[in-house]
């Protein structure tokens, strides 16, 4: 298969098909009521609290430290890319390092940008789950009406590790490609579970973050993947 054909196949699969599947799953979760069912399963109606809402360990380890670990990974990539011209072992990989750092950051940055644009609330904000707000779903709302919850930022951090899998594909490293995929799915779904247990997000919020991360990472790699990786092959 020609490299151009590989590039088209890569973009179609990772830029369209996989994000589309995540988006379809998110729509199904909301439309079927699975979002509410999963939230209700971890909500204590007696105390009007989500099981892990007040858990110090869950907040410190599952939320803050876990998020920091992903940031450290991305920052390491950024430093490696910036210093590559002066490090012989990295010099021929600097384009790949920059592409990976960009791919890893693009999805979470888009998620952060989307949060203040919509009125979608977190489960813990809703009257149904001990909050004070009625459901809303509008877009391009005022700052006062913004829910600042959708999509899930924590899940976006976990799923952003798919950039490592794309780097493995470009560099011709099956080991890195597989490890990156496992890391992205494992971390993304683990981060999703933490925030769902805390009542911070519905399942669909997390799945939309996965779709955004996958599409943005694929887009970031598209131009790089369109040319021969011979200069940066292992």
- At 228 the pLDDT is 45
pLDDT digits 0-9 by tens, 18-60: 999 999 999 999 999 999 999 999 999 999 999 999 999 999 9
pLDDT digit string, tens, across residues 152-194? 999 999 999 999 999 998 888 999 999 999 999 999 999 999 9
Q: How far apart are alpha carbons 101 and 220 in whole angstroms? A: 9
Please enumerate in sequence order all residues whose Cβ is within 8 A of that of 208, keeping only pairs 6 or more positions apart, or say none.
Answer: 22, 23, 26, 150, 151, 152
Each domain of the chain, given as residue ranges in start order, spans 3-232
pLDDT band, residue 8 (cuts 50/70/90): confident
């Amino acid at each position: 298969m020609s490299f151009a054909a590989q590039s088209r196949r890569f973009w179609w699969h990772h830029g369209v098909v996989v994000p589309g599947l995540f988006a379809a799953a998110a729509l199904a979760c909301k439309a079927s009521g699975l979002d509410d069912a999963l939230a209700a399963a971890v909500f204590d109606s007696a105390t009007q609290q989500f099981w892990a809402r007040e858990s110090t360990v869950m907040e410190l380890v599952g939320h803050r430290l876990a998020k920091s670990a992903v940031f450290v990974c991305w920052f390491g990539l950024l430093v490696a890319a910036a210093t590559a011209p002066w490090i012989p072992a990295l010099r021929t990989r600097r384009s790949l390092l920059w592409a990976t750092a960009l791919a890893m950051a693009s999805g979470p940055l888009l998620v952060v940008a989307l949060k203040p644009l919509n009125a979608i609330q977190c489960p813990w904000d809703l009257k149904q789950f001990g909050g004070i707000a009625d459901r809303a779903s509008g877009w391009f709302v005022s700052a006062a009406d913004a829910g600042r919850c959708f999509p899930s930022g924590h899940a976006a951090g976990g799923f952003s590790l798919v950039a490592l899998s794309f780097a493995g594909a470009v560099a011709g490293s099956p080991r890195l490609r597989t490890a990156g995929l496992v890391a992205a799915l494992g971390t993304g779904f683990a981060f999703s579970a933490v925030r769902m247990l805390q009542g911070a997000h519905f399942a669909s919020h997390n799945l939309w973050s996965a779709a955004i991360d996958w599409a943005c990472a694929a887009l970031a790699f598209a131009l790089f993947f369109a040319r021969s990786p011979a200069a940066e092959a292992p």
